[in-house]
Each structure stands twice: as C-alpha cells, then as structure tokens.
Amino acid sequence: MDRCHRLTSRIRPWLLLGLPLFVLCAPSLARQPATLSYHSVQLELPGPPAQLLPCDLDGDGSGDLLVVVAYTTWDRVTFDRVEEAMMITDVVPALFDRREVRAFLTTPQGPFDLALEPLDVSGRLRALAPGPEGTGPLALTPEGVAGFAVVRDESGTPRLVIRPLFDAPTALAAAEVFLPNLPLTADLDGDDHLDLLFPGAGGVEIYLSRDGSLETSPTSHLEVPADRVENAGVKLRRLPLPSVSDLDGDGTVDLLHPTPETVGGEMDEARELLVSRGLGANESFREPEWNIRSGI
C-alpha cells in the first residue's frame, strides 16, 4: 500500500501539469484558418457570357447559375424567283444575332452539374437582375417585367421558362441590345428583401416586394434630373439610374441622382448632388429635394 501511494504521488503532478497545457493549445488550434476546397466546373457555352447571375432557380436551397449568352451564327436564307418560266432559288449566307439564357442547376453530384435546354430570348431580353426570394431572377422585356423559373414536364424533366409578371412601359423597350449588370434591385424599404428600380418611360418607378413577391403597381414615381433625349443623327435617350445609400444616417435609404453634367463622367466632378430622401417602410420616396453644392 505504501509503495502504491508513493507511485500515485509521483504521477499526479504530471497529470495536473498536462491538463493546462492541453487547454492552452486548444485555442491556438481553433484559430487556424479553415481550408477551402475548390471545385473546377467547365460550362459549355457557344460564346463568352454577357452576364452571370447566381440564384436558386428550382427552390431547393442550393445555388444555381443563370447565364446570358449573346453570339452570332452563320446561316443561309433563300429567295425564290421566276425567270423565263423557270423557278430559281437563290441561297445567300447571312449572319444572325442570337441571345440565349442558359441555366445550370446544382445537384447532389456537384455544383452546376445539370445543364438545361437553352431558352431563346432574342429580341425579348433587355436586362437581368436578382429578384425577391419568392419571385426569382427578374427580366426586363419590351413589355415590362418577367421572371425566370424552372418547371418540370410530365416526364419530370426540368426546363427553364420565362413568365410575365406585369406589363409596364419601359425606357428600354426601343433598345435592341442586352444591357448587362444594371443596378435594378436593392432593399429600398429596410425589410431585407430586394425591391425594383424600374426605368420607366417617364422616369424611375419604385416597385416594392411584399411577402417575397414583387408588387405589380409602383409606390413611387421619380423624374430623373439627368433624363433627356438627344437627336444627333439618331434618337438617343439618357436615363441614368440613381445610386442607393443611406446618406443622412437615419436608417432609411436615399437615392442619389446624377446631374446632367455628370452623365458620362465621375460623380465627384458634380457641382451639385440631388437626393431623393427615403421615408422608410410602406412609404414612398420624395422628389429630389436636397441640393448639395460641392463647392466646385
């Protein structure tokens, strides 16, 4: 018994010293940065992408990818004519402009693993932007606003569709080009959901989201100070969208409008800044009321 007691007395200090050493080491191990793993994904596209938009297209909570592709292809057109009682067909090579939206879904096999059939949007798509959670990606078309979604046919095969949300005249209706990365959506009423800055025919219109879906009637209509139409051989309209920021620190966002002299230039070159003050949730924006002189 006496020998066992002496052995225990010798071992116990080592145990007491070893425990604090382990506790001190644990925080240093926890502070080590986590290792990020990268997964290489190759997307088969007919041309360089005009815009990439991460989103959840099928509502499964995983990240999908929407890609707008604008490219040209060679094809041929035929013309029939009758000459000296003979039918003659002329075949002429032609260059066609094509616009497609392609969806890549994330599956258990990997991110963006499932490529859906391309959706032809030639002549229909003017701009693309993220939308509220219940609406999905938003598309500006000549008729108004539409949304992208993934549906399944009778066999269970997913396909990409575009559905009109509401009709509204837009300043982009006459444009024949796709305008990528326009700042069309932001949280404008402080509810953590995306709202729409719509470039309307008569100015900027504010469409708020309610319960995850976009309202079909605007809550505000603002005339943009730098909105103007020019005629220099061709008819040209400038409609710069305002920047969204809380400029006065009151917890509600405001809209900073470019002035005519800053269109095509830098904001810090402006002699004055025009601001539409935000009024918070369920309210509208006022017409530009602050005129901040920059002292230039």
**pLDDT for position 109:** 82
Instruction: Dihedral sign for Cα 227, 124, 132, 281, please.
Output: positive
Q: Is the confidence at residue 152, as pLDDT, over 80?
A: yes
> For residue 49, what pLDDT band results from cuts at 50, 70 and 90?
very high
**pLDDT for position 230:** 67
What percent of the chain has a predicted confidence (pLDDT) above 70? 75
> For residue 250, what pLDDT band results from cuts at 50, 70 and 90?
confident
Q: Three-class SS of residue 198?
A: strand
Residue with tokens 């990268």: 38
**pLDDT for position 93:** 87
Mean pLDDT of 193-202: 89
Higher pLDDT, 234 or 146: 146
Residue with tokens 């269970």: 156
Residue closest to 243 by CA, chosen among 281, 290, 275: 275
Would you kindly state where each structural domain of the chain is located, as residue ranges? 49-293
DSSP string, 78-131: EEEEEETTEEEEEEEEEEEEEEEEEEEEEETTEEEEEEPPPEE-TTT--EEE--
pTM: predicted TM-score of the whole model, two decimal places? 0.73
pLDDT tens-digit series, residues 1-15 = 444 444 344 444 433
Q: Three-class SS of residue 30?
A: helix
Helix (H) or strand (E) holding 14: helix 2-30
Taking only Cα atoms into account, the Rg of the chain, rounded to an integer number of angstroms, comes to: 29
Mean pLDDT of 140-169: 91
Residue closest to 122 by CA, chosen among 67, 182, 178, 76: 178
